[in-house]
């Protein structure tokens, strides 16, 4: 059985000068190698949750933290951001705010150079990260010459070069067109398949969560509202309404069929499951 690589025990967090808790009494465990989507409306606490996982909270942001966050056996209260950076890589939604150097290679090597690693050690980490991102042949290109999708891949490659256990992504596809978004998510999915990588990704897309996630964390007003499979989360109409989450279209179809008195035999979260369940419904109706 997979180990829990991320553990939160009664975790609450409030930013300085804020009266309300951004996160409140959250307890959960994330298994090593899993793909977790984090969902909830704006202000639910998704970005704060991500910042717990690489020790930006509590070490780089001012506020009050109660409870314990344990990452691969290390408590974030006693581990520095630099220590955890060797395990946890993080990329945000806007790549432009994370790119600091001129060339693609230098960007992937930037954080490693700041750790004063030897050039040969940096090269051993940068090349596989850029290859995984499909950017090794672009290593001498100017960062400014890359497309939006390539820049997002580069931020993820830089995170991978630093850390190879946990990848935390805050809305990685939100600024891309549908084709670019799918390319990025497929890339992340393939990365996970290539190695033991735990992915935690915030998203506002039910389709993305249904296709790629093993489980979904739902946050509401800083609290843990649900933690379950896509089928469990998207079948809960009251939860979706209260958290302002749009399910995948096929799940919405299943919910409507239930409202009309024709529930599908099994609840779908993707098109193949919807087709199969619809066939089973008609077999039962006309069989």
Q: Is residue 104 part of a domain?
A: yes
Angle, in degrees to the nearest 10, between helices 119-132 and 148-162: 130
Burial class of residue 9, CB neighbours in 10 A (0-12, 13-18, 19+): middle
Q: How many domains does the chain have?
A: 3
Identify whether residues 64 and 193 lie together within a single domain. yes
**Domain-located, residue 71:** yes
DSSP 178-233: HHHHHHHHHHHHHHHHHS--EEEEE-S-HHHHHHH-SEEEEEETTEEEEEE-HHHH
Residue 239 maps to a domain: no
Maximum alpha-carbon separation in the chain? 70
Phi, psi of 7 (to 5 degrees): -130, 130
Q: What CATH number is attached to the domain comprising 192?
A: 3.40.50.300
Residue 190: other Cβ atoms inside 10 A:
11
- In this structure, are residues 227 and 217 in contact, taking their beta carbons and an 8 Å threshold? yes
Residue 71: domain span: 1-87+163-230
Domain limit, last residue, from 114, 131, 159 = 159
Give this prediction's pTM: 0.88
pLDDT of residue 268: 84
Contacts of 237 (CB under 8 A, 6+ apart): 255
260 and 222 belong to one structural domain: no
Q: 240 lies in a domain?
A: no
Instruction: Quote the pLDDT of residue 284.
Output: 63
Of 112, 130, 159, the position where a domain reaches its end is 159
Per-residue pLDDT of the chain (287 residues; tens, 9 = 90+): 568 999 999 999 999 988 899 999 999 999 999 999 999 999 999 999 999 999 999 999 999 999 999 999 999 999 988 888 889 988 887 778 888 889 999 999 998 888 888 999 999 999 988 988 889 999 999 999 998 888 988 998 898 888 778 999 888 877 777 777 778 788 788 777 766 789 999 999 999 899 889 999 999 999 999 999 999 999 999 999 999 999 998 888 888 888 888 888 888 888 888 888 888 888 765 44
Clarify whether residues 218 and 136 are in a common domain.
no
């Amino acid at each position: 059985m997979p180990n829990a690589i991320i553990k939160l025990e009664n975790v609450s967090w409030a930013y300085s000068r804020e009266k309300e808790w951004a996160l409140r009494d959250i307890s959960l465990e994330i298994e090593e190698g899993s793909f977790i989507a984090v969902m909830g409306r704006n202000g639910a606490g998704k970005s704060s949750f991500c910042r717990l996982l690489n020790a930006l909270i509590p070490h780089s942001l001012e506020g009050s933290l109660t409870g314990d966050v344990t990452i691969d056996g290390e408590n974030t209260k006693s581990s520095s951001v630099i220590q955890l950076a060797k395990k946890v890589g993080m990329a945000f939604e806007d790549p432009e705010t994370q790119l600091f150097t001129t060339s693609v290679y230098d960007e992937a090597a930037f954080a490693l150079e700041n750790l004063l690693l030897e050039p040969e050690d940096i090269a051993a980490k940068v090349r596989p990260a850029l290859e995984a991102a499909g950017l090794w042949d672009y290593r001498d290109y100017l960062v400014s010459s890359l497309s939006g999708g390539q820049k997002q891949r580069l931020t993820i490659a830089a995170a991978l070069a630093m850390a190879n256990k946990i990848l935390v992504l805050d809305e990685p596809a939100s600024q891309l067109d549908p084709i670019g978004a799918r390319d990025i998510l497929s890339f992340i999915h393939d990365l996970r398949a290539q190695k033991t990588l735990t992915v935690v990704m915030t998203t506002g897309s039910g389709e993305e969560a249904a296709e790629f996630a093993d489980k979904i964390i739902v946050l509401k007003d800083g609290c843990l509202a649900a933690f379950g499979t896509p089928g469990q989360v998207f079948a809960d109409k009251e939860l979706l309404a209260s958290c302002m989450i749009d399910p995948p279209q096929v799940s919405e179809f299943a919910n409507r069929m239930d409202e009309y008195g024709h529930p599908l035999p099994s609840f779908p979260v993707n098109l193949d499951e919807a087709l199969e369940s619809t066939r089973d419904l008609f077999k039962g109706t006309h069989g």
